[in-house]
Amino acid sequence: MSIKQSVLRVYNGNPTQGGTFAGTAFFIKPQLLLSAYHVFKVDCPNGAYLQLPECEIWPVLLSEIEQGKTTYGERDIALIHLPRSFPMYCPPLAARNPASGDAVTLWGFFDAQQSLHERYTWISGYVGVQHAFNMAGSIPRGMSGGAVLFEGQLIGLIYARDADKNISYCIPIDAIKEALNKITDTNSSQPQRHHITSKTFKQIKELHEFKDLVAPELIKTYEMRLLDKWFEEYTKYD
């Protein structure tokens, strides 16, 4: 297996019902996806959907998207918890941050039609105030949320571009690791993130099929009621 099987398209709305391509996400753990937070928070007002490698469409639950928190504050990092594990390749994490001149490979999608794109470029600078790194060449918007690999290891997350300057930006691996560590600590006291039953997930998935007919606020309310009901049953025997 390789990174090619781990990178997914993110859609604004159900793509089988007119939803449009929004960006990229990829597996970082069997039950956890990594992407840019703005892809889910800003670019998916009609609800976020994932297209798995088998072409299955999955709605992303609002309660399962977390923004990465680091010593630099909340970053444009989205960690998406899935209701079950998938046997996907997860790239190893690099031991160090990018450095100027590093030859890196960017992975992501341009749009809903073209196949997964692999772009070769290099690290061209560092932006201290943002704790981010420049990469030569401006990437298409759809590659936001994609992976930056150095010698086969994850070293950054694509999150922005500057077409006028012909550069792109990535969040370095140390910020990603910090966000992951804080998410892991949170999950240890919130088992519902990883143990939602298939019955509950099916109910929530069916609920999201009514996104075009029901106000988003009601969808979120009923989603949380289902999760609360599940959690009440889950903790009954603790």
Q: For residue 216, what are the domain limits? A: 196-238
DSSP character at residue 84 = S
In a domain, 119, yes or no: yes
pLDDT in tens, 217-232: 676 666 666 656 655 5
DSSP character at residue 47 = -
pLDDT at 85: 84
pLDDT in tens, 137-146: 999 989 999 9
Q: Domains in the chain: how many in total?
A: 2
DSSP character at residue 143 = G
DSSP character at residue 128 = T
Contact indicator for 76, 63 with CB cutoff of 8 Å = no
CATH of the domain at 138: 2.40.10.10
What tokens does 153 get?
Answer: 């290891």
In a domain, 111, yes or no: yes
User: How far is it, in rounded angstroms, from Cα 47 to Cα 61?
Assistant: 8
pLDDT at 116: 94
In a domain, 234, yes or no: yes
pLDDT at 115: 93
Contact indicator for 179, 173 with CB cutoff of 8 Å = no
In a domain, 73, yes or no: no
In a domain, 30, yes or no: no
Classify 94 as helix, strand or coil: coil
* Reported confidence tier of residue 191, pLDDT bands at 50, 70, 90: very low
Q: Is the predicted pLDDT of residue 160 greater than 90, yes or no?
A: yes
Contact indicator for 136, 167 with CB cutoff of 8 Å = yes
What stretches of the chain show up as alpha helix (H) in DSSP? 37-41, 173-187, 198-208, 216-235
pLDDT at 227: 58
The 3-state DSSP composition of the chain as helix, strand, coil percent (nearest 5) reads 30, 35, 35
Instruction: Out of 173, 204, 230, pick the residue that ends a domain.
Output: 173
**Residues 162 and 107 both lie in one domain:** yes
In a domain, 16, yes or no: no
